[in-house]
Structure 1
Amino acid sequence: MAAPSEPITRAKPAKRVSIREIARQAGVSTATVSMVLNDNPKITQATREKVRKVIDRAGYQPNRIAQSLSGKYTRVLGVLLPTLRHALADPYFGELISGICDRAARLGHKVTLESAKPDFIREKKHLELFDRRFVDGVLCIGFNDRHVFLKDFAKAGHPMVVVNNQFDSWGVDQVVCDYRSGTDQVMTYLQQLGHTKIGLIHGSPDVFTSRVIIDVFKHRTPELDDTFLEDGHFTEEHGIAATHALLERHPDLTAIFAGNDKMALGAMRALSLRGIKVPEQISVVGFDDIPYSKFVTPALTTVHLPFYEAGDLACERLIQRIRGKNDRINETLSTHLVLRESTGIVPRA
């Protein structure tokens, strides 16, 4: 005869800590706790820290849905990305998003990611983010001139900031790194080293920052025609193909300037496959200063772009816009050339 089974006992769920309990433990009113949770500037720093300590110790989790329904703000920001493969694994997107998320957390906001797929835009879900109060504002990364839906945010009066690109005629807010100054620094450096036969591997001309690089390059090398330019589509693979194409047309190149580090690394790979030494025979310069550019051999000379800081600043400016600041956001962050081992003086004939 089987032994009777023991009755199943279920653990009681932990009792949810209430805002009243937080107020009691902190020795303040529930209104004060609420103001701390909403970063009300009327609360002193000492009171804020005292209440925050109690909140952390008690593990209190505010009901964000209830807050968004009863209050003016959801305290949620959206990050809108194009439909690119492995976008979040790309150092470019990773640095920008890290800056956004860290600043948002410090300012008491959450971040949600959205992919702007064709049906997402066609069904106006980018505007629905605001209409259904999912977010207070959005930050847009990686879009180009073809993504005209970005104008919809400005037309509807929704807070939106473009991060590291420009759409001057669209009336949108933007925070961008100084690509013009960075390109000027590269060209000055290469020309000081004696390079005159320079090939440019640029990104898509649909992107404003790519057009800036092309414009400065052409201005600084009026003696070179368009056969010294090749589209590398921002990827290592196309950087390899672009390098082969440039060398087929101009085997006497002494330097290659790539519009991002991924294309520059592709260029270095193509030169290695051809048995061409860097920098003894051809110098290579990148643009971005992604983390692993310093670990390749030879280490890549490149322009440092403050992506993390751009994301951080864009997030801060967006929250200011959400809270009522009406000044146009049009910020440019400075860049600088980082000299490493992939460049040298022009080789003797």
Structure 2
Amino acid sequence: MKKQLKIASFSIQYDTKPTTTCPIKIDSATYIEDKVLPKYLIGECDMTLPQFYQAACPQLTATDYVLSDGYQQIIRRFPHTNQVRLTLGTDAIYIIKAVPIYIEVKDYVQALIHPERFSEMSLEVAKIKNLKPIMQEEIIQLNTYKRKQLLLNGQYSERTLLDVTHSNNVQTIQNQLVYERELYDFAHYQYAGMIGFLPEYAIHTYEQFHEAYGQYIYSATLTKSGETIPLVWPDYLYHRPENHLEFGVLAESTPRYQSFEYWQENDSVTVTILADGFEDVSFETKLKKPQNIRPQLSQNIYLMTETLSLTIDQGVLQELTEQTCQFEIVSPEKVKQNANELNYTITAKALLLDCNQFSRPGFYQLQLMSPTYGEMLFLFKIQLEEQA
């Protein structure tokens, strides 16, 4: 039986079998009239992180995105800086607001005609705001960037350009940024990195970074061995007084970090940053050799009469002995002392430093730079006497 369907200002006749009026086959049970229709319907939709990353991370479930109690405490002190796009839902899962989307008109027609077959898509269509039809010739004129496609199964594709010229609708920034630093086995992280501006752009403070780029960031991911790790704030963040974005993968055995539990030397990792009004930014790096044991300070607080002990991989100890691995101490005043200026001992299992050579109490950094195992950073505190 012939029926009519309205799509915004357009209408189309359809039937369950081919007829003179409806000769164009959409699927085995749907035929439409032969007329020029819009190419897409476009709009915006709020998405949870599981929805936003589902195409890239199909192995993850909604519970994998729930912020831990520890993370929720951190964001009370360091809330996400893009409040326009990101909000934390009542289930402790982030929501990305106003994600640009598009729908193939033929899919939209099927979902409207057969809501019982495409119920998940129908539910998503109901959430879309500002849905409007776009003719083929209008696509190039859109002031838009990448969009996610709503599919018949109710899921969203990865972001894509509807026309290659749309890449010109955002600011370029990749060539202004640099992958400043990467750290291995830093604090609670097995891998961490920093992205900032090249020196010539004079972004020296938190406020400058925030105004130039930081406040627009709403997504950060790492991709290793073909698997994408979605980072959630504060897996990535920037904070005073720093002038760069920091990110890391926690040393935890959870599904979201699973692809980083093991790696081999020279495995490729791609870091991707998304920000409103800017082109997507990506950096590729090669991982250093993993250590057989996780390096560990004997304690986090030392008296000046004690000895700092860093237990570390045999390969690093060998490099320290051969002086191919460099190390230095950074004082609370940011004064650096390299190995040649320090009294230290290398044992079969650890690097030892007498704490009485440090100038005063306070927070110090121990930095190791290994050509094989990468850069390592350890934070510790020196006290004059034991505190109750």
Same fold per TM (> 0.5)?
no
| Interval of TM-score (by shorter of Structure 1 and Structure 2) | under 0.3
TM value normalised by structure 1: 0.25
Kindly indicate whether structure 1 or structure 2 has the higher relative contact order, using CA contacts under 8 Å at least 6 residues apart: 1
Indicate the structure with greater strand content: 2
TM value normalised by structure 2: 0.23
